[in-house]
Structure 1
Amino acid sequence: MRSSSNPAFRNLPRGAAQYGPNVGFNQPQGGVPGYGPPQTSAGAGDRPMTVDDVVIKTALSLGTALVTGVLTAIWAISQLPVDAAGRITGISGGVIGALVGGMLVGLVISLVIIFKQKPSGPLTLAYSAAEGVFLGAISGLFEALYPGIALQAIIGTAGVFIAMLVVYKTGAVKVTPKLTKWIIGAVVGVAILMLVNLITSFFGFNPLRDGGPIAIIFSLVVIGVAAFSFLLDFDQADRMIREGMPSKWAWFAAFGLMTTLVWLYLEILRLLSYFQND
């Protein structure tokens, strides 16, 4: 299986040969001649994975994150102290706790899923819920400062996701080994730059995140890299389907897509904040 920039898709086991070939995102399903073989009659617990499995699991994960995120954002806004003019005067400890707690819990669960290399619906949904709390707390803060920014970020994230899905399905951009290496290299490069910028920010030098021209360009680059990472996510899920991996692995595909969605949303939210009036 081809490498991916998403750690969730690395070192996956090979598909179950006993199921035979299956059809992926770019191939219609069913037993009509020319459209791939019909599905086997294996039990629901070990039948081959299908596109519908990936769509349903991803929708459940995304829905969990959205519900917890919206509820957390509403709560976070209500917890922020304001002055008589309605201006935010600080950040409550509860909001900080939700932000840090959601981030750490999500990180721990993601590491468990990645290193365990086994699909788990409960863990994937727990990860989505934790990320929802994390994103909700951040979104609440940004929304209180810049009303409407969270919805704009959600629309932007959905737009990029749909656009890249169309690009993948139409074959406008082929996922080749060369492109895969380029995207992985770009992800690693972005991660290194973020780490260096984080370290230098402690010394008052924060060019990649200060809202200036360089920061805007960097955010656009990161958004582009995250967008192209979707192509690798789609390709890996497609390969899992065509190799006949059991349906439970759709949870793993959903987890991989969720990690990229979270990354993209955060970067779009940050970019939008650069253009807001103080």
Structure 2
Amino acid sequence: SEASGSDAFQPLLLITIITVQRRNDFHYVLQVASHFHRLLQKCGARCRSHRVLLCNVEADPSSHQDVRLLSSFFPMVSRGRTGGNPDPSLNQFEKEKQDYVFCLEQSLLVYSPEYILLVEDDAVPEEEIFSVLQHLFSARFSKPYLRNALYFKLYHPERLQRYFNPEPMRILEWLGLGMFLGPVLTCAYCRAAGRAGPSWCLVAFFALYSMALSELVGRHYGLELRRLHPALYNVVPASECCTPAMLFPAASARRASGYL
């Protein structure tokens, strides 16, 4: 079934899953759609203003078997193709960009939501996604420095989350960790060893030790502590990498589609 733009309901959040046909044994979009459906059911009344939209960008939309199954449960839009064969001069990146713009524009046209979460069909949501988004909507997005943001990335690969990274704020965070844990570990050591007081050499040693240990263990493991409460999540400047899950305010979605 095709989504209709006549629906007067305006959701707070529209989750648009952009999908293409993959190997038959993967069924990525089935997994992602079922996860979102389960989490929305679990969320209950707080998520009644959320909707899911499937965006089928397969060259032959009717060949996407998984979407045909899901079309009985979720509204769907398809990117129709004129002519039999795709343009051979169109490279993969340009095609993906055009598909992305199509899904963004259709999301605005069909539902006109306040926010669009554009998700690729292999991006499985975490259990706490809706509680975190609710906190962002109510407490964070009203801040002046976030009011005109173009988009918010909800995913960053683990390999790029280490401290040895070209992002300057990451180095400052690493130094801050050492400056905090160095004195704390020194005081704990002096108390356990019965020493009279700390020395700067000992503070420096424990600071460097904690910094080295955090890098060896992996910064991303420490970031897992954020899952204890939505307020522990942080909003930082986005890097260039990776777009599996992107959150757009409606006005920003219009700007982004114009830029692309």
TM-score bin, normalised by smaller chain: under 0.3
Please state which structure has a larger fraction of its residues in strand. Answer: 2
TM-score, L = length of structure 2: 0.23
Q: Which has the larger Rg? A: 2
